[in-house]
Amino acid sequence: MTSAPIPGPPLDQPRSPSARPPLLRSGTDRMAGGVCGGLADYSGIDSLLWRVGFVALTLAGGAGIVVYLLLWVLMPSAPLAPGEQPSAAEQLVGRLHGAVSRPRSTS
């Protein structure tokens, strides 16, 4: 029994860059910090499943809270919805993100 090879893209044509959006915290799909909404936009997996995953990690030892807080600080924020003002917690996280992502001088 023979099988035909699976056709793929021609080798002489470069692959197009991924149409995946940048990894940002969501400005519209947010319950706390927009982390799950941002992960949903980036990965294509529904934000509800990301939230369930973080709850499961939290119940399985508390890692969900730590990972969520780290992502909240490390992921840049997408623009907020029109007319919406950032909360005090969002402003604090913005300052922390700026401090963490600032390039360090080695002199």
* pLDDT tens string 23-81: 888 888 888 888 999 999 999 999 999 999 999 999 999 899 999 999 988 888 888 77
With a cut of 60, say whether residue 9 has pLDDT above it. Answer: no
Assigned token pair, 3? 């099988």
Rounded-to-integer distance, Cα 26 and Cα 103, Å = 24
More confident residue, 84 or 5: 84
Instruction: Give the closest residue to 37 by CA, choosing from 56, 21, 51, 52.
Output: 51
Contacts of 93 (CB under 8 A, 6+ apart): 33, 72, 73, 77
> Residue 4 has what pLDDT?
64
Q: Rg of the chain's alpha carbons, rounded to an integer?
A: 19
> Residue 14 has what pLDDT?
54
